[in-house]
Chain A
Amino acid sequence: MLEVKNIKKSFGDLQVLKGVDVRVEKGDVVAVLGPSGSGKTTLLRCMNFLEKADEGILNFDGEEYDFRTIGRKDIAKIRKKTAFVFQNYNLFRNKTALENVTEGLIVARKMPKAKAKEIAMAALEKVGLSDRSSHYPHELSGGQQQRVAIARAIATNPEIIYFDEPTSALDPELIGEVLSVMRQLANEGMTMMVVTHEINFAKNVSSRVIFMEDGEILENAPSKEFFENPKEERTKAFIKSIAEQHTI
């Protein structure tokens, strides 16, 4: 469904992505793990054109695009089939929870208001927030804001949702509510690519794990294989260090 080939990105002298390949099939839940600064977030942001990649090919729905030359129209076309959930939620602060969800439907997709509202309410219902539809973002907790952001993502019926560390900004007791919504989406067959530090999500929910370090993919394997039988020494050390953290 989606394939990225040899994607490269530098910030000044620092090469953040050194030629990365990713392939996502429909229904996949890909967890992207790796230490801070390994390029995971940049990879995700480049894939949705929030950063401009220096090089690379994107194959989306059977059509091929060059990251260097892709035009505004193609970017807009691809973005209408994808969704993005940010670490800091990035809800529209001047819009209610409901309006945050309908905005992309009414404004970007020219959907009639009544229909957009219906879809948005269903999306909010799904993330357990139908009773908060008229609240503004500042009236919601971090976990609720992130769930509204997920509702905003699913309402547009995307082919894939990118999650950029969706629980990293949350208080520990609020992480669970967001993860359980994501798990539910995964179970329903939503295609997802999730940059995360939540090892349990990678282990129990994702179907595939990508491990990145220094702008490269070190290991890319089905989730079970990744945790039970990692091939690379570095991956073993990473899994071990995380396991230790969890026993403290």
Chain B
Amino acid sequence: MSEKVLNLLMDSFTKILIPGIKVTIPLTVISFSLAMVIAVLTAMVQYANIQGLKQLARFYIWIIRGTPVLVQLYIVFYGLPSVGIMLDPFPAAVAVFSINEGAYCAETMRAAIESVPVGQLEAGYCVGMSWWQIMRRIVLPQAFRTAFPPLSNSAIALVKDTSLAANITVAEMFMTTQRIAARTYEFLPLYCEVALIYLIFSTVLTKLQRAGEKRLNAHGFN
């Protein structure tokens, strides 16, 4: 590797990392948090068998899982302005990623909630607790433990999927790399470099998952 390329990589590392910290990470954290809210609500209306809302939940999951996230980004950012809905790139990306991720996590949460033996719900009723009290204190804590590994999977996938936001002009890590590469023509080293930074982010998340599981295991799970 020539010294010139090496210097370029050293130079560009912080230039790529900064939008990573300023854009990619916030985009991931905000989208995933909203996705979890959507997921828990969507799973619970199905578990509680609330007619109307349950069908709406299935419809939402069907539409979102059945269409590519890239197309969803284009619809929201390039399509919606024609009906008067104009979003800035970052909020548009947050909206699409949280709604998209929410649909997948909703299914994870539904499976996890359903895996809690129904006998514990009955036991809760018999000691006088309400449905909501049982959900909050007994069922959801256990469901979150079960859902934790697959949810971590989704979070790791989301970190990398945020690179798609480059398509709607969000200046995140990948777009920044594309710009540097277009100027310098060093495509291979620069794209490998940004791949490495995604790998570092994912590795940190994997470590967090391990630590999280360990902590959760201390509370009644083997």
Contacts and interface: CB of A to CB of B under 8 A. Distances in A.
Q: Which of A50, A93, A96, A156 has the most CB of B within 10 A?
A: A93
A136 B127 contact: no
Interface string B122-165: 11111111100100011001100100000000000000000000
B124 A92 contact: yes
Given A93-B220, A137-B220, A103 B127 contact: yes
B129 A83 contact: no
B119 A96 contact: no
B222 A104 contact: no
B123 A90 contact: yes
B137 A90 contact: no
Interface residues of B, number: 22
Interface in B95-140: 117, 119-120, 122-130, 133, 137-138
Interface string A59-95: 0000000000000000010011011101010111111
| Interface majority SS (helix, strand, loop, mixed), chain A | loop
B221 A76 contact: no
Given A90-B119, A107-B133, A50 B222 contact: no
B128 A156 contact: yes
B176 to A, nearest CB: 44
Given A108-B129, A138-B220, A90 B122 contact: yes
A103 to B, nearest CB: 6
B4 interface: no
A111 B153 CA distance: 41
B220 A94 contact: yes
B219 interface: yes
A109 B128 contact: yes
A88 B119 CA distance: 8
A9 interface: no
A108 to B, nearest CB: 3
A96 B141 CA distance: 14
A102 B54 CA distance: 34
A138 B129 contact: no
Contacts of B126: 48, 50, 79, 82-84
A93 B125 contact: no
Contact of B220 (A79, A80, A136): A136
A152 interface: yes
Nearest to B133: A107
B142 A94 contact: yes
Contacts of A48: 126
B118 to A, nearest CB: 9
Contact of A50 (B120, B122, B145, B220): B122
Contacts of A79: 125-126, 128
Given A50-B126, A91-B123, A138-B221, 8 more contacts: A50-B122, A76-B130, A79-B128, A88-B117, A90-B123, A92-B120, A103-B127, A156-B127
28 contacts: A50-B125, A76-B128, A76-B130, A79-B126, A79-B128, A80-B128, A83-B126, A84-B126, A86-B123, A88-B117, A90-B119, A92-B120, A93-B220, A93-B221, A94-B138, A96-B220, A104-B128, A107-B129, A107-B137, A108-B130, A109-B128, A136-B221, A137-B220, A138-B222, A149-B123, A152-B123, A156-B127, A156-B128
Interface of A: 48-50, 76, 79-80, 82-84, 86, 88, 90-96, 103-104, 107-109, 136-138, 149, 152, 156
